[in-house]
Amino acid sequence: MTTTHLILVPGFWLGAWAWDDVLPGLRAAGLEPHPVTLPGLDPADGTDGVTRADHVRTVVELVDRVTADGGDVVLVGHSGGGAVVGEVVDRRPDRVRRAVYVDSGPLEDGSALALDLPTDQADLPLPSWEELADQGSSLDGLDDAALDRFRERAVPHPGAVARGAVRVGDDRRFAVPVTAVCTSLPSGVLRTMVDGGPPLHTELGRYDVTYVDLPTGHWPMFSRPDDLAAVLVEAARA
Protein backbone atom coordinates (compact mmCIF):
# COMPACT_ATOMS: atom_id res chain seq x y z
CA MET A 1 0.00 0.00 0.00
CA THR A 2 1.28 3.45 -0.93
CA THR A 3 1.89 5.74 2.03
CA THR A 4 0.32 9.19 1.77
CA HIS A 5 2.66 11.80 3.25
CA LEU A 6 1.24 15.16 4.31
CA ILE A 7 3.96 17.80 4.47
CA LEU A 8 2.68 20.56 6.75
CA VAL A 9 4.24 24.00 6.25
CA PRO A 10 3.27 26.63 8.84
CA GLY A 11 3.00 30.36 8.32
CA PHE A 12 5.01 33.24 9.74
CA TRP A 13 6.42 32.93 13.29
CA LEU A 14 5.50 29.25 13.61
CA GLY A 15 7.38 25.97 13.76
CA ALA A 16 6.29 22.36 13.43
CA TRP A 17 4.68 22.65 16.88
CA ALA A 18 1.82 24.67 15.35
CA TRP A 19 0.36 21.43 13.92
CA ASP A 20 0.52 19.44 17.18
CA ASP A 21 -3.25 19.34 17.73
CA VAL A 22 -3.93 18.38 14.11
CA LEU A 23 -1.57 15.41 13.96
CA PRO A 24 -3.67 12.86 15.92
CA GLY A 25 -6.56 13.12 13.45
CA LEU A 26 -4.22 12.68 10.48
CA ARG A 27 -2.49 9.65 11.98
CA ALA A 28 -5.80 8.08 12.97
CA ALA A 29 -6.78 8.23 9.30
CA GLY A 30 -3.65 6.33 8.29
CA LEU A 31 -1.77 9.30 6.89
CA GLU A 32 1.89 10.10 7.56
CA PRO A 33 2.23 13.76 8.60
CA HIS A 34 5.50 15.67 8.42
CA PRO A 35 5.21 19.02 10.23
CA VAL A 36 8.01 21.34 9.17
CA THR A 37 10.08 23.87 11.03
CA LEU A 38 11.61 26.06 8.35
CA PRO A 39 15.14 27.51 8.67
CA GLY A 40 15.27 30.39 11.12
CA LEU A 41 12.00 29.38 12.83
CA ASP A 42 13.53 27.17 15.50
CA PRO A 43 14.35 29.19 18.64
CA ALA A 44 17.88 27.77 18.45
CA ASP A 45 18.34 29.04 14.90
CA GLY A 46 19.63 32.40 13.87
CA THR A 47 17.95 34.31 11.05
CA ASP A 48 21.14 35.76 9.52
CA GLY A 49 21.41 34.76 5.89
CA VAL A 50 18.15 32.79 5.80
CA THR A 51 16.35 33.33 2.48
CA ARG A 52 13.21 32.24 0.66
CA ALA A 53 15.37 29.85 -1.32
CA ASP A 54 16.36 28.14 1.95
CA HIS A 55 12.72 27.64 2.89
CA VAL A 56 11.81 26.28 -0.52
CA ARG A 57 14.85 24.01 -0.62
CA THR A 58 14.03 22.55 2.81
CA VAL A 59 10.58 21.44 1.64
CA VAL A 60 11.79 20.29 -1.79
CA GLU A 61 14.36 18.05 -0.09
CA LEU A 62 11.64 16.59 2.16
CA VAL A 63 9.46 15.90 -0.89
CA ASP A 64 12.38 14.12 -2.52
CA ARG A 65 13.04 12.01 0.57
CA VAL A 66 9.48 10.80 1.09
CA THR A 67 8.95 10.07 -2.60
CA ALA A 68 12.20 8.14 -2.98
CA ASP A 69 10.35 4.89 -2.21
CA GLY A 70 7.25 5.77 -4.22
CA GLY A 71 5.43 7.64 -1.47
CA ASP A 72 2.46 9.83 -2.28
CA VAL A 73 2.78 13.53 -1.32
CA VAL A 74 0.20 16.13 -0.40
CA LEU A 75 1.60 19.56 0.46
CA VAL A 76 -0.20 21.73 3.01
CA GLY A 77 0.64 25.40 3.46
CA HIS A 78 -0.83 27.77 6.02
CA SER A 79 -0.74 31.55 5.56
CA GLY A 80 2.79 32.55 4.48
CA GLY A 81 3.62 28.87 4.19
CA GLY A 82 1.32 28.76 1.18
CA ALA A 83 3.80 30.82 -0.84
CA VAL A 84 6.49 28.26 -0.03
CA VAL A 85 4.19 25.41 -1.07
CA GLY A 86 3.45 27.16 -4.37
CA GLU A 87 7.16 27.38 -5.15
CA VAL A 88 7.73 23.74 -4.18
CA VAL A 89 4.94 22.63 -6.51
CA ASP A 90 6.68 24.62 -9.24
CA ARG A 91 9.95 22.78 -8.54
CA ARG A 92 8.40 19.30 -8.23
CA PRO A 93 5.11 19.25 -10.19
CA ASP A 94 5.61 15.57 -10.96
CA ARG A 95 6.01 14.56 -7.31
CA VAL A 96 3.14 16.41 -5.61
CA ARG A 97 -0.33 14.91 -5.98
CA ARG A 98 -2.24 17.79 -4.40
CA ALA A 99 -1.56 21.12 -2.71
CA VAL A 100 -3.73 22.36 0.15
CA TYR A 101 -3.76 26.05 1.04
CA VAL A 102 -5.08 26.92 4.50
CA ASP A 103 -6.22 30.55 4.48
CA SER A 104 -3.54 31.14 1.86
CA GLY A 105 -2.67 30.47 -1.76
CA PRO A 106 0.13 30.26 -4.31
CA LEU A 107 1.60 33.65 -5.22
CA GLU A 108 2.39 35.07 -8.64
CA ASP A 109 5.97 35.18 -9.85
CA GLY A 110 7.75 38.25 -8.49
CA SER A 111 5.31 38.93 -5.66
CA ALA A 112 6.31 39.01 -2.00
CA LEU A 113 4.56 38.86 1.35
CA ALA A 114 6.18 41.90 2.96
CA LEU A 115 7.48 44.26 0.29
CA ASP A 116 7.27 47.21 2.68
CA LEU A 117 9.59 45.61 5.24
CA PRO A 118 12.72 47.82 5.45
CA THR A 119 15.80 46.17 3.99
CA ASP A 120 17.76 46.92 7.17
CA GLN A 121 15.25 45.06 9.35
CA ALA A 122 16.75 41.67 10.13
CA ASP A 123 13.51 39.94 11.03
CA LEU A 124 9.79 40.40 11.53
CA PRO A 125 8.58 39.91 15.11
CA LEU A 126 5.07 38.78 15.91
CA PRO A 127 2.95 41.97 15.96
CA SER A 128 0.50 42.85 18.70
CA TRP A 129 -2.91 41.21 18.48
CA GLU A 130 -4.40 44.59 17.59
CA GLU A 131 -1.96 45.03 14.71
CA LEU A 132 -2.69 41.56 13.39
CA ALA A 133 -6.42 42.23 13.47
CA ASP A 134 -5.89 45.53 11.65
CA GLN A 135 -3.91 43.65 8.98
CA GLY A 136 -6.85 41.30 8.42
CA SER A 137 -5.53 38.28 10.32
CA SER A 138 -8.60 37.24 12.26
CA LEU A 139 -8.11 35.90 15.78
CA ASP A 140 -11.59 34.35 15.89
CA GLY A 141 -11.72 31.14 17.87
CA LEU A 142 -8.58 31.78 19.92
CA ASP A 143 -9.07 32.08 23.67
CA ASP A 144 -6.58 33.70 26.03
CA ALA A 145 -4.76 30.41 26.64
CA ALA A 146 -4.29 29.87 22.89
CA LEU A 147 -3.07 33.43 22.40
CA ASP A 148 -0.61 33.08 25.29
CA ARG A 149 0.75 29.82 23.85
CA PHE A 150 1.05 31.39 20.41
CA ARG A 151 3.00 34.39 21.65
CA GLU A 152 5.19 32.35 23.98
CA ARG A 153 6.33 30.02 21.19
CA ALA A 154 6.38 32.44 18.25
CA VAL A 155 9.76 33.17 16.67
CA PRO A 156 10.59 36.30 14.62
CA HIS A 157 10.31 35.55 10.92
CA PRO A 158 13.48 36.02 8.85
CA GLY A 159 13.25 39.38 7.12
CA ALA A 160 14.85 38.21 3.89
CA VAL A 161 12.15 35.53 3.60
CA ALA A 162 9.34 38.00 4.21
CA ARG A 163 10.74 40.43 1.62
CA GLY A 164 11.89 37.80 -0.85
CA ALA A 165 10.18 37.53 -4.22
CA VAL A 166 8.40 34.30 -5.15
CA ARG A 167 9.88 32.61 -8.22
CA VAL A 168 7.70 30.26 -10.26
CA GLY A 169 7.76 29.51 -13.96
CA ASP A 170 6.96 25.88 -14.76
CA ASP A 171 3.45 25.74 -16.21
CA ARG A 172 3.19 22.09 -15.17
CA ARG A 173 2.39 23.37 -11.70
CA PHE A 174 -1.13 24.22 -12.87
CA ALA A 175 -1.84 20.51 -13.43
CA VAL A 176 -1.49 19.82 -9.69
CA PRO A 177 -4.99 20.01 -8.14
CA VAL A 178 -5.59 22.32 -5.21
CA THR A 179 -7.79 22.45 -2.14
CA ALA A 180 -8.35 25.95 -0.72
CA VAL A 181 -9.43 25.85 2.92
CA CYS A 182 -11.28 29.10 3.58
CA THR A 183 -11.26 30.03 7.24
CA SER A 184 -11.19 33.80 7.79
CA LEU A 185 -12.48 34.58 4.29
CA PRO A 186 -15.53 32.74 2.86
CA SER A 187 -15.02 30.88 -0.40
CA GLY A 188 -17.62 33.05 -2.12
CA VAL A 189 -15.46 36.10 -1.45
CA LEU A 190 -12.16 34.40 -2.20
CA ARG A 191 -13.38 33.30 -5.63
CA THR A 192 -13.66 36.96 -6.64
CA MET A 193 -10.01 37.63 -5.76
CA VAL A 194 -8.06 34.76 -7.35
CA ASP A 195 -7.23 36.06 -10.81
CA GLY A 196 -4.00 37.83 -10.00
CA GLY A 197 -2.99 41.32 -9.00
CA PRO A 198 -3.90 43.14 -5.79
CA PRO A 199 -4.88 42.58 -3.08
CA LEU A 200 -3.79 38.93 -2.89
CA HIS A 201 -1.41 38.60 -5.88
CA THR A 202 -2.37 34.93 -6.09
CA GLU A 203 -2.53 32.71 -9.14
CA LEU A 204 -5.06 30.41 -7.46
CA GLY A 205 -7.57 31.03 -10.24
CA ARG A 206 -5.35 29.21 -12.74
CA TYR A 207 -5.61 25.91 -10.87
CA ASP A 208 -8.28 23.23 -10.56
CA VAL A 209 -9.50 24.26 -7.11
CA THR A 210 -11.79 22.60 -4.60
CA TYR A 211 -13.01 25.22 -2.13
CA VAL A 212 -13.79 24.17 1.44
CA ASP A 213 -15.29 26.55 4.00
CA LEU A 214 -14.13 26.13 7.60
CA PRO A 215 -15.35 29.30 9.33
CA THR A 216 -12.98 30.46 12.06
CA GLY A 217 -10.00 32.79 12.27
CA HIS A 218 -6.66 32.76 10.50
CA TRP A 219 -5.18 29.98 12.66
CA PRO A 220 -7.54 26.98 12.41
CA MET A 221 -4.84 24.61 13.68
CA PHE A 222 -5.34 26.34 17.04
CA SER A 223 -9.05 27.18 16.91
CA ARG A 224 -10.51 24.10 15.12
CA PRO A 225 -7.74 21.47 14.96
CA ASP A 226 -10.00 18.41 14.74
CA ASP A 227 -12.10 19.95 12.00
CA LEU A 228 -9.01 21.04 10.11
CA ALA A 229 -7.62 17.50 10.37
CA ALA A 230 -10.86 16.16 8.89
CA VAL A 231 -10.64 18.59 5.98
CA LEU A 232 -7.02 17.60 5.32
CA VAL A 233 -7.90 13.91 5.42
CA GLU A 234 -10.64 14.47 2.85
CA ALA A 235 -8.28 16.47 0.65
CA ALA A 236 -5.61 13.77 0.89
CA ARG A 237 -8.12 11.14 -0.22
CA ALA A 238 -9.46 13.16 -3.13
Residues of the chain with pLDDT under 70: 115, 120
What pLDDT score does 158 carry? 94
- The pTM of this model reads 0.96
> Which class does domain 4-237 fall in?
alpha beta
180 Cβ neighbours under 8 A, 6+ residues apart: 100, 101, 105, 187, 190, 204, 209, 210, 211, 212
Query: What residues does each domain of the chain span?
Result: 4-237
pLDDT tens figures, 23-77: 999 999 999 999 999 999 999 988 888 999 999 999 999 999 999 988 899 999 9
Quote the CA–CA distance of 157 and 58 in Å, as a whole number: 16
Percent of the chain residues past pLDDT 90, beyond the cut: 86
- Adjacent-strand bridge partners of 34: 7
Q: 6: helix, coil or strand?
A: strand
Q: Return the ∠ at Cα 53 (arms to 50 and 56), rounded to 5°.
A: 110
What pLDDT score does 135 carry? 84
